[in-house]
Amino acid sequence: MEILGFLMDGFRGALTPMNLLFVFIGCLLGQIVGALPGIGPSAAMAILMPLTFGVPPTTALIMLSGIMYGGMYGGTLTSVLINVPGEAASVMTAVDGYQLAKQGRAGAALSIAAIGSFYGGVASLTAVVFLTPLLSNFALKFNAPEYFLLATMGITATASLGSGSAVKSLMVGVFGLMIAMIGTDPMVGVNRLTFGVMELMDGIDFIPVAIGIFGIGEVLASLEDRKDFVVLKTRLRDLWLTAQDWALCRMAIVRGTVVGFFVGTMPGTGPTIASLLAYAAEHRASKHPENFGKGALDAVAAAETANNAAAQGALIPMLALGIPGSQSTAVLLAALLILGIRPGPMLMSQQPGLVWTLLASMYIGNIMLLIMNLPLAPLWASILRIPYDYLMPGIIAISLVGVYATSLSLFSVGITVLFGIIGYLMLKFELPRAPIVLAIVLAPLMENSLRQSLMLSSGSLAIFVQRPISAVLLLVVLTTLALPIVRHIRDRRKRNSFDE
């Protein structure tokens, strides 16, 4: 009951005209960013972060989170209408969504995706509302050793649970930690890795790195191939679902919510993996698995429900522990730090107004997005006809001016350009970009907690196993490191038996 009281207070805060306006702006930007191929929600959040400096922190976070979950709704449009995922989490939607569009059922695909996203988002958010305070209360028992291990887990879990090579993911995480080491040592005050460059004494900020790697890097990649997309048509009356469609999709939506929420709560996973797993789970559970890949409406429902459920589920580790669960929540966490708010278990007790207003705003945002995506879907489809070429220069310009606005230094703009090129090369060498962001955000917590722990124990590493919670966390960290090895051995065995 206490939680409901807090949530009601949150609604009072979220329903102020200013906050409502920024929920709308955030959702609108998320919808547009999600719909446009070439730039994802994390990039947009990083690029637009400087714009929020003129508003109170709660309002800023409301807008940034609106971009985060709005992107999940918007990504469906491009997947269904032009067979190009607007953002990574909509990849599986493109598989069946575009087939449905070719069969003249684009409206049904968009409709079920919007409804599924809404259901998944609201259900997942409700779980966040009830579970976050419990986890947060438990985490109040944490001390330096636990924080060090939690931060380490944030990086190792990305490698272990993410798709692609675990070694590469960890390597990128280490690269992020190296960047975070540049600057003045927080405890002793001496310069580290600055190599005599004065501008590096304050360290390399998160914003230039994130904007460069995600924003500029993605824009450069989109310059490789310039295609004029053919946008399939959709009409308002096509959005109506038949009773048969409902019967087919209702359980897919429920399953997608469950898969999405649980995957989202695990650090290092995020909406893309959630939608992949939900698609695979639905393929197994469906009465018509033969339709998958040929235009299965339940496949679209499961994938779209899961990505939005995961986007909101990822808030649990971020709000309760201060550990981002995904790329987008890493940007959100960085925003908290930049706005002068200390994340972690104390956040809920020290800043209840901020947390509950943010959560309440997300309910409102999901309703806004449902309205934007159901009756207004044909309008969004017409936006896709604007050539991306006309938007690209604007994205770069806003990115660079935004970076200057946060630091008032052209050196930071130079860092952004450098990391833009690095981001592009990372895409080419198939290096995941999420671990770099997570590492930069988590590095100060990781290093300070490690040094505090070793001070407490007079240099003994036994402190990490003597405390029960830290022992469990250490086990989890070791498991996340061992998992890829086990997976590698299992795959090798499978391959060998397949060859024989």
Partner 1 sequence: MGMMEMGRNPKFHPIFSLTSKGREGCMKSSLDIVPALVMIVLSLITAFGVSSLDYWSQYTPGPAFAPYWIAAAGLVLSILLLVQTKLSNSCEKPDWPGRSGTIRILMTSFGLVLILILSSYIGMITATLIFILYLLLGILRRKLVPSLITTLITVALIYGVFVGWLRVSLPKGPFGI
- Beta carbons of 360 and 14 less than 8 angstroms apart: yes
Shortest distance (Å) from residue 172 CB to partner 1:
8
- Beta carbons of 107 and 238 less than 8 angstroms apart: yes
Binding flag, residue 394, partner 1 (CB under 8 A) = yes
Binding flag, residue 398, partner 1 (CB under 8 A) = yes
69/464 with CB nearer partner 1: 464
CA separation for the pair 167, 431 (Å, rounded): 10
Pick the binder of partner 1 from 11, 352, 451, 476 (CB under 8 A).
451
325/402 with CB nearer partner 1: 402
Shortest distance (Å) from residue 215 CB to partner 1:
12
The piece of 28-36, 122-130, 343-351, 448-456 that touches partner 1 (CB under 8 A) is 448-456
Shortest distance (Å) from residue 28 CB to partner 1:
15
- Of residues 410 through 429, those in contact with partner 1 by CB under 8 A are 410, 413-414, 417, 420-421, 424, 428-429
Shortest distance (Å) from residue 259 CB to partner 1:
29
Shortest distance (Å) from residue 403 CB to partner 1:
11
Q: Which amino acid is at 233?
A: K
Binding flag, residue 168, partner 1 (CB under 8 A) = yes
Pick the binder of partner 1 from 53, 130, 240, 246 (CB under 8 A).
53
Binding flag, residue 430, partner 1 (CB under 8 A) = yes
Binding flag, residue 178, partner 1 (CB under 8 A) = yes
Pick the binder of partner 1 from 164, 293, 375, 393 (CB under 8 A).
393
State the CB neighbour count (10 A cutoff) for residue 346.
13
Binding mask 477-496 for partner 1 (x = CB under 8 A): ------------------x-
342/488 with CB nearer partner 1: 488
Pick the binder of partner 1 from 181, 469, 471, 476 (CB under 8 A).
181
Binding mask 224-263 for partner 1 (x = CB under 8 A): xxx-------------------------------------
The piece of 90-98, 189-197, 270-278, 327-335 that touches partner 1 (CB under 8 A) is 189-197
Q: Which residues contribute to the site for partner 1 (CB under 8 A)?
A: 50-51, 53-54, 165, 167-168, 170-171, 174-175, 177-178, 181, 185, 187-188, 190, 192-193, 195, 216, 219-220, 223-226, 387, 389-390, 392-394, 396-398, 400-402, 404-405, 408, 410, 413-414, 417, 420-421, 424, 428-431, 447, 450-451, 454-455, 458-459, 495, 498-499
